[in-house]
Structure 1
């Protein structure tokens, strides 16, 4: 595989260059690229000093997001040098918004990851709000505190979701899941695809 070629990854998704096009599109909408990569309120995992940043835009009612999530987690954990930013982008149903708000409220008790994984583990699509609530409660999170944190920080959570949506629109994302991996943009990937994308992002960054 030649580096100048588009990589056709295992899941069948094309890895395409997102920068400097990402920067141009974001700038046209008045959004700083750094705001996409380093929003201080966006949940961030992996290695905070990683040499590659991966940004995942997802919806808790998106079956493709759910299928890819374990592979993404595994690839990030095994790599050890990926900084992973999660962008709640609830665009499919009203319940998607409900789930995103639950997860982001859980961040105030340092339980975002717990709630995120609980919601991602619910099978199917168009999951009703009550099923989401039950899954969150079963995860062991303090639901009373989560509700209190949500009510106290409702405006901040709304603002973050609006920023995520504006950023997705600014860079021309078409749906979930969407990933920014180093200088590339892609959609649904599997474990092998994520590993290949990380490696190619490193090669591209090293060549700059």
Structure 2
């Protein structure tokens, strides 16, 4: 059973190993840099004209992703010059695919970050579909509209998830979270200080 099987909805559980780089390493082994940085369907936040871009590959059933999410938000708000690209990469459980779908579906009503924060706020690593749906509803997402948007835009959402999978595969990514910060990749959970250091490293143009 591989990640593509999970993305296609196969009934499999389990996590992929997390690799922790002691120092940032060059991220780009893929020719599709434009697709990674400028996919028009990928949600974004932060400063659209920021001088550092962070690309976050994550899974809503990844406890390390959840640990890092609030630290990333604090570091971005403190900095003010960071652009964040969200890459929903549901590789851990079939329910992860559902979480990614409802988050991306929420984007059509301008509530992607609301759904993202709600899903990241659910404790645990094997969250059921119902718990994800309840969390998004409690956060204020219009669930009637969400279902209509999912019905209408399912092919576009599936295509985006497949592009993200292809991008991750092309770079040899093995598990979540992975943060591309400037030209460097960090395959580990980072705290606020870690994100600040990584952002400074990206601005300096060389690993510290």
| Shorter-chain TM-score tier | 0.7 to 0.9
2:200 matches 1:196: no
SS at match of 2:126: coil
2:137 matches 1:137: yes
Q: Deviations over 1:144-163 (max 9, x none)?
A: 00000011000000000000
Matches within 5 A, 1:169-208: 169-187=169-187, 188-204=189-205
2:109 matches 1:101: no
Task: List gaps (5 residues or longer) in structure 1.
Answer: 1-11
SS at match of 1:34: helix
SS at match of 1:26: coil
Q: Deviations over 1:56-94 (max 9, x none)?
A: 000000000000000001101110000100100000001
SS at match of 1:173: coil
Q: Tell me if the contact between 1:26 and 1:33 (Cα under 8 Å) persists in the aligned partners.
A: yes
Q: Structure 1 residue 17: deviation in Å?
A: 2.5
CA distance in 2, matches of 1:52, 1:39: 17
Matches within 5 A, 1:48-67: 48-67=48-67
SS at match of 2:205: helix
Q: Structure 1 residue 13: deviation in Å?
A: 4.5
Please report the TM-score for the alignment, with normalisation by the length of structure 2. Answer: 0.87
Q: Tell me if the contact between 1:57 and 1:89 (Cα under 8 Å) persists in the aligned partners.
A: yes
Q: Deviations over 1:149-179 (max 9, x none)?
A: 0110000000000000000010111100001
Please report the TM-score for the alignment, with normalisation by the length of structure 1. Answer: 0.87
Q: Deviations over 1:79-119 (max 9, x none)?
A: 00001001000000010000000000000000000000000
SS at match of 2:166: helix
Q: Tell me if the contact between 1:15 and 1:197 (Cα under 8 Å) persists in the aligned partners.
A: no
Which deviates more, 132-141 or 153-162? 132-141
SS at match of 1:133: helix
Q: Deviations over 1:167-199 (max 9, x none)?
A: 001011110000100010002211110000000
Matches within 5 A, 1:82-101: 82-101=82-101
CA distance in 2, matches of 1:132, 1:62: 13
CA distance in 1, matches of 2:152, 2:137: 20
Task: Give the number of aligned pairs.
Answer: 186
Provide the residue aligned with 2:30 in structure 1: 26
